[in-house]
Amino acid sequence: MIPSGHTAVMASRREPPDALDFFPTPPWATRALLSHVLALSSDEFLSSSAWDPCCGEGHMVGPLQEYFWAVEETDVFDYGKGFAVSDFLADDERTADWLITNPPFKIAEAVALRALDRAKVGVAMLVRSVWLEGTGRYERLFRDRPPTTIAQFCERVPMTKGRWDPDASTATSYAWIVWRMTEQLAAPTFTWIPPGCRRALTRPTDIVRFAARSAAAPLLPAAK
Ligand SMILES: C[S@@+](CC[C@H](N)C(=O)[O-])C[C@H]1O[C@@H](n2cnc3c(N)ncnc32)[C@H](O)[C@@H]1O
């Protein structure tokens, strides 16, 4: 939901309110999901659609477009990238084969529940590993909708507020949580995303594509 004090009519502002939790995903972390965790065949990728409903400036959308046949991107805030503006928790009735996102921490559970309603094939969410714990979240989400796969990054996935900084570091641990609608397992499969992904899956063109900001927002040092 839009934080109090803000409205959906935010198209003229490019610097998002802090409450929207804009922490762009390093492109390699999305490629790690696609190549190491989902590991769909090229036929499956080329016949499937994906949607990032909290897309920010498109740091996840770009890598998704490298694999999927069609990619949709929406965000509650207009970052000036031409993406549709939509509050995923309020009014978005779109569907896609895969819903894939890095949700704001505070609404990640609501995003997961809504994504599970909108996805035809599966949902993948990049979350802090500690998001897996918590009695309330277990009762409201994991007990009745257990994920199919939990994929823990061996490497850290540094995220900085407001922009992708390729040289950043972090003490926070991240994992991809994946639900496949067709597989109702009693217990999730746990796997590791192996070391070396950051180097192997970062492309030379990523700096130009993703590290430069179009908006004049400052680089804030806080790590997510
Ligand atoms: C952690 S950032 C991730 C951005 C992008 N998915 C990425 O990985 O680079 C979270 C994003 O969620 C967006 N957001 C927050 N609340 C939302 C809502 N209710 N509906 C849609 N997007 C929302 C924020 O504007 C922000 O861009």
For a pLDDT cut of 70, what percent of the chain falls above it? 87
Q: Does the residue 16 lie in any domain?
A: no
Report how far ligand 1's centroid is from the alpha carbon of 186 (Å): 30
Average pLDDT over residues 170-198: 92
Q: What is the pLDDT of residue 60?
A: 98
Q: Does the residue 221 lie in any domain?
A: no
65-104 tens-digit pLDDT: 999 999 999 999 999 999 999 999 997 789 999 999 999 9
Residue of 128, 219, 138 lying closest to 175 (CA atoms): 128
27-36 tens-digit pLDDT: 999 999 999 9
pLDDT surpasses 90 at 55: yes
Q: Does the residue 13 lie in any domain?
A: no
For a pLDDT cut of 90, what percent of the chain falls above it? 80
Residue of 31, 23, 66 lying closest to 194 (CA atoms): 31
In 3-state terms, what secondary structure has residue 149?
Answer: strand
Q: What average pLDDT does the chain have? A: 89
Strands 160-161 and 220-223 come out as antiparallel
| Token pair of 107 as six digits | 């609404």
- Residue in 75, 106, 165, 210 to alter for ligand 1 test, most ligand atoms within 8 A of Cβ: 75
Q: Does the residue 5 lie in any domain?
A: no
Q: Does the residue 6 lie in any domain?
A: no
Q: What is the CATH number of the domain that holds 77?
A: 3.40.50.150
pLDDT surpasses 90 at 134: yes
Give the residues across from 220 on adjacent strands. 161
| 56 Cβ inside 6 Å of ligand 1 | yes
Q: Which domain holds residue 80?
A: 21-211
Residues 98, 45 contacting (CB under 8 angstroms): no
pLDDT surpasses 80 at 221: no
Q: Does the residue 61 lie in any domain?
A: yes
Atom of ligand 1 nearest to the CA of 16: 25
Amino acid, res. 47: S
Ligand 1 atom 15 nearest Cα: 20
CA distance linking residue 115 with residue 96, whole number of Å:
10
| 121 Cβ inside 6 Å of ligand 1 | no
pLDDT surpasses 50 at 117: yes
| Token pair of 61 as six digits | 């959308």
User: How many DSSP H helices and E strands does the chain contain?
Assistant: 7, 10
Average pLDDT over residues 120-146: 97
Ligand 1 atom 9 nearest Cα: 24
114 DSSP 8-state letter? H
Average pLDDT over residues 153-164: 96
| 79 Cβ inside 6 Å of ligand 1 | no
Distances (CA, A) of 161 to 42, 104, 112: 34, 12, 22
pLDDT surpasses 50 at 120: yes
Q: Does the residue 15 lie in any domain?
A: no
Q: What is the pLDDT of residue 183?
A: 75
Q: Does the residue 141 lie in any domain?
A: yes
Domain total for the chain? Answer: 1
Q: What is the pLDDT of residue 218?
A: 41
**Dihedral sign for Cα atoms in the order 222, 111, 129, 31:** negative
Residues 149, 191 contacting (CB under 8 angstroms): yes
Residues 193, 153 contacting (CB under 8 angstroms): yes
pLDDT surpasses 90 at 138: yes
CA distance linking residue 122 with residue 117, whole number of Å:
10
pLDDT surpasses 80 at 212: no
Q: What is the pLDDT of residue 224?
A: 54
Average pLDDT over residues 118-125: 97
Distances (CA, A) of 122 to 44, 46, 100, 158, 159: 12, 15, 8, 25, 25
pLDDT surpasses 80 at 12: no
| 52 Cβ inside 6 Å of ligand 1 | yes
CA distance linking residue 160 with residue 218, whole number of Å:
11
